[in-house]
Amino acid sequence: MLQKFALAFKTKTIEFFAEEEEDEDDLETFRAVRDLDPNPEAVITDQRVVVLKPDPNQPVIPNPKSTELDPQTLVSTLFATLSSFHAAYLHLQTAHSPFLPDAIRSADAVAVAHLRRLSDLKRFYSHFQNPNPNSAPDPPLSSYLEAQVRENQSLLRTFDSVINRLQADIDKKDAEAAELRERLREAEEGNAKLAARLDIACVPPPSSDENVVETLLSVGVFDSVLRDVCRITHRFAKGLVELMKRGGWDLGLAAESIYPGVNYAKPGHCRYAILSSICLGMFGGFNSYGFGIEGDEIDARERRYVSLRQFIEHSAADPFELINSQPSCKFAKFCKQKYQQLIHPGLESSLFCNSERGESLWGSLRPSSPLYESFIAMASSIWTLHRLAWAYDPVVEIFQVGQGTGFSIVFMEDIIHKASPLSSESGQAARPKVGFTVVPGFRVGRTTIQCRVYLDFKQAV
C-alpha cells in the first residue's frame, strides 16, 4: 500500500486548473500502480491532488505553549471574547422573558466560561508585564484568523437574539393591532346602526309612526347627556376657582355674597356656591325654545324633529371651529351672552389683569385665555342638552328649589351625600334645610331627575 502511494505521489503534481491531457496521463499512471498489486483495492479515479502553498501574507499562528506575546493576536482574542460574552449575556436576558430554565442555565454557563477566559487573558498579560518564570501561565491565545471568526460568530449570535426579540415585539403588536381592528369594526357597525336609526328619527314620519321617536328619546339618553354636562361644568368651575385664588380672592367672602347665611360643613365647601352660580346662570332661559337668544315660535310637531336634527348636528360638530367659522350663529351668540353674565367686569379685571378700558367682555374670551377651552366646552354641552330637551314631547322642564326649603329625597339629592334626619329638641327626626341648589333638576315626562342641592345642617324643620 505504501508502495502504491509513493508511486502515485512521484508521478506528477497536479496544480490548480490542470489541462485535460495531464488528466489522461494521471489516469494511466494510477492504472499502472493498480497492476502492480495482485489484490488491488478500490481506487477512485478522476481525482486531483492539489498542493496548497503557504500564503506569505497570512499571520503566523503562534504556538499555544509559546511564551512570545503577539499584540495583534492578544487584542483580537480579547475583542472576540468580549463579543462572545456580550452575546451570551444577551441570550441570558432573552431567556428570562419568557422564562426558560434550561436556556438560562445554558446561557449562564457560557457567560461564565467567557468571563474565565477574560480572567486568563488578564493573568497572561500581567505575566508579561512582570515576568515570573516560576508561575508562567499558559497563553490563552488563538490565531488572528480564529479570533476574527469567533468575534463574527458572537456578533451573529447577538444579532440573532435581537432579531428574535424584535420579532416577538412585532408579533405582539400585530396581535394588539388585530384586536383593535376588531374593536373598531364592532364600533363602526354599532355607529352605522345608530346613524340609521337617527336618520329615520330625523325624517318626520307619518302620524301613525310617531312612536319611533319616542323609543329613541328615552330618559336614559337625557340623563347620560346631563351627566356629561355636570362633569364639564365642574371642570370649568375648578379652573375658575384656581384663577380666583391666584387673583387674591377670598372664596368664603365670594360664597357669602352669592348665598348669605349658609352654614357650610367644611370651609372648602364654599366652592359649591360658586359652582351653583355657574350652573344656574348657564341654565337660565332653558325653558324657552331660543334659550333666551331668540323667541321664535315653531309648530310643536315640527319643533321636535328640528330640535332632534340640531342635537345630532351639534353633537358631531366642533364647537371651536363653529365659533370661528360662523361667529354670528345662535351658538356663538349664546356663548357671548352667557360669558357676559358669568364673568362680570370686576372679576374679569382681577383674573386676567385687563386694565384697558372700553374692551368688550367677549374680547377676553380668546384662545389664549385660560378659560377659553373649558368655557366653550361647557357652553357646547349645555346647548346640546337644550336641543335634546326640546325634542321630547312634552318638552323637558327644568326646576330648582329655593334656599330654606326642607329636604325631599324624591326631588332632591345631597351633592355631598350626607343627608340624614336630625334629632330635634322634641326627640323627633328633623329634615335639614336646603342651603342652595347646585345643579337644577328636570322632569322628563313622568320621570323626575333630582336636582342636586347643598344642605344647611345647622338649621332643620
Angstrom distance (rounded) from CA 199 to CA 218:
17
* DSSP secondary structure code for residue 134 in this structure: G
Angstrom distance (rounded) from CA 221 to CA 31:
104
Angstrom distance (rounded) from CA 130 to CA 280:
92
Where are the domains positioned within the chain? 1-53, 66-202, 208-460
User: pLDDT of 444-458, one tens digit each?
Assistant: 988 999 999 999 867
Angstrom distance (rounded) from CA 367 to CA 423:
53
The sign one gets for the Cα dihedral 223, 229, 235, 238 is negative
Q: What is the pLDDT of residue 93?
A: 80
Task: List, as own/partner pairs, every contact residues 8-17 make where C-beta atoms lie below 8 angstroms and the sequence separation is at least 24, other chains included.
Answer: 8/33, 9/49, 13/49, 13/51, 14/48, 14/49, 14/50, 15/50, 15/51, 16/50
Q: What is the pLDDT of residue 353?
A: 58
Q: What is the pLDDT of residue 434?
A: 92
Angstrom distance (rounded) from CA 324 to CA 277:
28
Task: Show the cell assigned to 45.
Answer: 479515479
Task: Show the cell assigned to 461.
Answer: 324643620
Q: What is the pLDDT of residue 58?
A: 39
Q: Residue 251: CB partners within 8 Å, gap ≥ 6?
A: 241, 244, 245, 270, 271, 274
Cβ atoms 391, 221 nearer than 8 A: no
- DSSP-based helix, strand, coil % in the chain, nearest 5: 60, 10, 35
In angstroms, the Cα distances linking 58 to 50, 70, 73, 149 are 19, 14, 13, 15
CA angle 158, 161, 162 (to 5 degrees): 85
3-state SS class at 233: helix
Residue spans of the chain under pLDDT 70: 1-71, 73, 128, 131-148, 150-151, 154, 197-215, 294-298, 300, 345-346, 348, 350, 352-365, 418-430, 457, 459-461
Q: Compute the radius of gyration of the chain from its Cα atoms.
A: 45
In angstroms, the Cα distances linking 127 to 80, 87, 121, 179 are 21, 29, 10, 63
